[in-house]
Amino acid sequence: MFRIGFTALAACFLGLCLFLASAPLAAQSAQPAWVRNPHAGHNRLAYVAAVGSGNSRQAAERDALRGIAGVFGLNIRAAEEITMLYQEMVVDGATAWTQQAEYRSIIETSIVMDNLMGASVHSAWEDGRGTFFVLAVLNRATAVLLYSDRIRANQDIIRNLTTMPDAQRFSFDGFSRYRFAAVFADMSFAYSEILVVLGAPWAGPLRRGEWFLQRSQEILSEIPIGINVRNDRGGRVQGAFAGAFAGLGFRSAGVNPRFVLDVNVNTWRDEHLVPGVEFAWVELSANLTDTHARAVLLPYGFNLRGSGHFTMAGAENLAFNDAVQRIDREYGNMLADYLARLIPRR
C-alpha cells in the first residue's frame, strides 16, 4: 500500500513538474501577432515589414527578405548576380577609387542580397510542427540615408574611373575602367529605384551600366592590334588571330601600334615513322604585348601533331590546318575572358 501510494505521489509530483516546465514553453509558442500582420508592431509609415516562412530559420529569413524586396519590385536573382560581381570587384580593389574611408567596411559587412541593405531580421518563431516564421523589417529613414550614401560613393568611384587622358582611355586599362564603372552604375540605379519607393528620390542624374559598356566597346574599336607571325603559311595563322580580334571589336593595326601579338610557328617531322605515311608537328607561341609597358599581357601556345599524309609537304599542310582550327576555337574565347577579368590600375 505504501509502495503504491508513493508511486502515485511520485507520478503526481512528476506531472506537476512537467506542467510547470511546459508552461513557459506554451506561452512562448503562442503565435505572435506579426505572423498574420507584419506591421502589428511597426508603423507602415516608418517601416517596411514582411514575414517569411520555411522549413528552416535560414529559409524563412530568406523568404522574409524576398518579401521586402518585392515591395520595391526587385528581381532577387538578377540582384544577386550583379551584387556578386559588385562585391568581387570591391574585393579586387574598387575601394581604391573612392575617397570615402568607410566605404570598404560598408560593403564588407553587407549581406549577400545587397539590394536589401538596412533590412534586418527582427523576430523569429517556430510553430512546433517544423515551420519557421521570420519577421524582417526595414527602417525607411535609415534606408534613405544608407542608399543615398552608397549612391554618392558609387558616383565618386565612377568619376575617378572615367576621368583620364585619351592616351590612357584608348587602352586595355581604359576599357577595363569603363566596364568596372558599369557595375557601379547599375548598382546606383537599383538603389535609386529603392529611394523612389521610399519617397526620397535621388536628385542627381544617373546613367545605367549599359551606357558605360557601350563606351568600353567603343574604346576597343579604337585600339589597333598589330600581328606579327613568323613562319606562317599563306597568312593562315595571321588570319585566324586577326579574326579573333575583329570578332571582339578591335581594329587593324596602324603605324607602330602599342599592342602587338607576336606569334612564332615551328614545324618538324615526326620521327616515329610509319611506313608510307608522314606526320608533322606544329608548335605555336603567341604573346599579346603592351609595347609601352614592355609587358606580356596574354600568353598563348600549344603543340600538336597533324594527320598523316603520304608526303611531308602534305603532312605539314594538314598540321597547319589543325593549328588554324584550334586558334579559331580557343583564342577568341580566351581573349574575351581576359578582357572580362581586367582590373583597372589606380
Within this chain, do residues 192 and 257 fall inside the same structural domain, yes or no?
Answer: no
- Lowest-confidence region among 16-30, 124-138, 220-234, 306-320: 16-30
**What share of the chain has pLDDT > 70, as a percent?**
78
In-domain check, residue 71: yes
pLDDT in tens, 33-86: 999 999 998 998 999 999 999 999 999 998 998 888 888 776 544 445 555 556
Single pTM value for the model: 0.70
- The pLDDT of residue 111 is 35
Q: How buried is 257 (Cβ within 10 angstroms: 0-12 exposed, 13-18 middle, 19+ buried)?
A: middle
In-domain check, residue 8: no
pLDDT in tens, 148-164: 988 998 898 899 899 99
In-domain check, residue 58: yes
In-domain check, residue 216: yes
Report the distance separating Cα 294 and Cα 141, nearest Å. Answer: 53
Residue 167 in this model has a pLDDT that exceeds 60: yes
Residue position matching grid coordinates 580566351: 334
Beta bridge partners of 238: none
Within this chain, do residues 232 and 332 fall inside the same structural domain, yes or no?
Answer: yes
193, 220, 247 — which closes off a domain?
Answer: 220
191, 220, 249 — which closes off a domain?
Answer: 220
In-domain check, residue 19: no
Contact criterion met (CB below 8 Å) for 51 and 124: no
Cβ count within 10 A of residue 54: 17
pLDDT in tens, 272-285: 777 888 899 999 99
Domain range spanning residue 83? Answer: 29-139
In-domain check, residue 258: yes
Distance between first and last Cα of the chain: 92
